[in-house]
Structure 1
Amino acid sequence: MANLVIENVKKRYGQNEILKGINISIETGEFLILVGPSGCGKSTLMNSIAGLEEVSDGRIMIDGQDVTFASPKDRDIAMVFQSYALYPNMTVAENISFGLEMRKVPKEEREKEVTRVAEMLQIGHLLKRKPAQLSGGQRQRVAMGRALARRPKMYLFDEPLSNLDAKLRVEMRTEIKKLHQKLGTTIVYVTHDQIEAMTLADRIAVMKDGEVQQLGTPQEIYDDPANLFVAGFMGSPAMNFIPAKVVQQNGTYALSLETKSNVVLPFPKPGALSSHVGNTVLLGLRPEMITEPQPHKEGATFVVKADIEVEVTEPMGADTMIITRIQDAEVNCRSNPAYSAQPGDVISMMFDTSKAVVFDKDTEERLDK
Structure 2
Amino acid sequence: MASISFNNVTKRFGDTIAVNNVSFDIADNEFFCLFGPPLSGKTTILKLILGLEKPDEGEILIDGKPVNHVSPARRNVAMVFQNLALFPHMTAEQNVRFPLAERRMEESDIAGRVADVSAKLHIGHILHKAPAQLSGGERQRVAIARALVRDPVAYLMDDPISALDARLREETRVELKRIQHELGRTMVYVTHDQEEAMSVADRIAVFEDGAIRQIGTPSEIYDNPRSSYVARMLGAPAMNLIALDLDRASALDGALLLEGLSVPEGASQIGVRPEDLVVKPATPGMPDQVRVFEVEPLGGVTVVTLQAGETSLRAMVRGQPKIEPDSEVSLSVAPGQACFFAGDGQALRA
TM-score exceeds 0.5: yes
Change (3 A) 1:264 1:126: closer
Change (3 A) 1:118 1:245: same
Structure-to-structure mapping, 1:24-103, within 5 angstroms: 24-103=24-103
Q: Extract structure 1 runs of 4+ deviating beyond 3 A.
A: 258-262, 291-294
Match of 1:324 in 2: 306
Aligned partner of 1:265: which letter? Answer: E
Match of 2:15 in 1: 15
**RMSD of aligned Cα (Å):** 2.2
**Offset, 1:134:** 2.9
Once residues 306 and 105 of structure 1 are traced to their aligned partners in structure 2, the CA distance between those partners, rounded to angstroms, is: 72
Match of 1:144 in 2: 144
SS for the counterpart of 2:303 is: strand
Instruction: Decide whether the 8 Å contact of 2:256 with 2:331 is kept in 1.
Output: no
Structure-to-structure mapping, 1:114-125, within 5 angstroms: 114-125=114-125
SS for the counterpart of 1:17 is: strand
**Offset, 1:74:** 0.9
Match of 1:252 in 2: none
Match of 1:364 in 2: 345
Aligned partner of 1:233: which letter? Answer: M
Structure-to-structure mapping, 1:1-369, within 5 angstroms: 1-246=1-246, 255-258=249-252, 263-267=257-261, 270=262, 273=264, 275-276=265-266, 281-293=268-280, 307-326=289-308, 328-360=310-342, 362-368=343-349
Instruction: Decide whether the 8 Å contact of 2:242 with 2:252 is kept in 1.
Output: no
Once residues 231 and 111 of structure 1 are traced to their aligned partners in structure 2, the CA distance between those partners, rounded to angstroms, is: 47
Once residues 113 and 60 of structure 1 are traced to their aligned partners in structure 2, the CA distance between those partners, rounded to angstroms, is: 31
Change (3 A) 1:347 1:97: same
**Offset, 1:316:** 2.0
Q: Which runs of 5+ in 1 are unaligned?
A: 249-254, 295-304
**Offset, 1:318:** 2.0
Instruction: Decide whether the 8 Å contact of 1:243 with 1:327 is kept in 2.
Output: no
**Offset, 1:323:** 1.1
Once residues 106 and 324 of structure 1 are traced to their aligned partners in structure 2, the CA distance between those partners, rounded to angstroms, is: 64
Once residues 265 and 245 of structure 1 are traced to their aligned partners in structure 2, the CA distance between those partners, rounded to angstroms, is: 13
**Offset, 1:89:** 2.0
Give deviations 1:206-243, integer Å, cap 9, x for gaps: 00011100000000110000101000111111100011
SS for the counterpart of 2:258 is: strand
Once residues 35 and 154 of structure 2 are traced to their aligned partners in structure 1, the CA distance between those partners, rounded to angstroms, is: 19
Aligned partner of 2:277: which letter? Answer: I
SS for the counterpart of 1:266 is: coil
Once residues 331 and 165 of structure 1 are traced to their aligned partners in structure 2, the CA distance between those partners, rounded to angstroms, is: 30
Aligned partner of 2:298: which letter? Answer: M
Q: Which runs of 5+ in 2 are unaligned?
A: 282-286
Task: Give the TM-score of the pair, scaled to structure 2.
Answer: 0.91
SS for the counterpart of 2:164 is: coil
Once residues 301 and 190 of structure 2 are traced to their aligned partners in structure 1, the CA distance between those partners, rounded to angstroms, is: 30
SS for the counterpart of 1:310 is: strand
**Offset, 1:52:** 1.1
Give deviations 1:142-182, integer Å, cap 9, x for gaps: 21111111110000000112222333322222221222232
More divergent stretch after superposition (18-27 vs 86-95): 86-95
Instruction: Decide whether the 8 Å contact of 1:237 with 1:332 is kept in 2.
Output: yes
Change (3 A) 1:23 1:317: same
Once residues 111 and 319 of structure 2 are traced to their aligned partners in structure 1, the CA distance between those partners, rounded to angstroms, is: 54
SS for the counterpart of 2:306 is: strand
Once residues 202 and 18 of structure 1 are traced to their aligned partners in structure 2, the CA distance between those partners, rounded to angstroms, is: 25
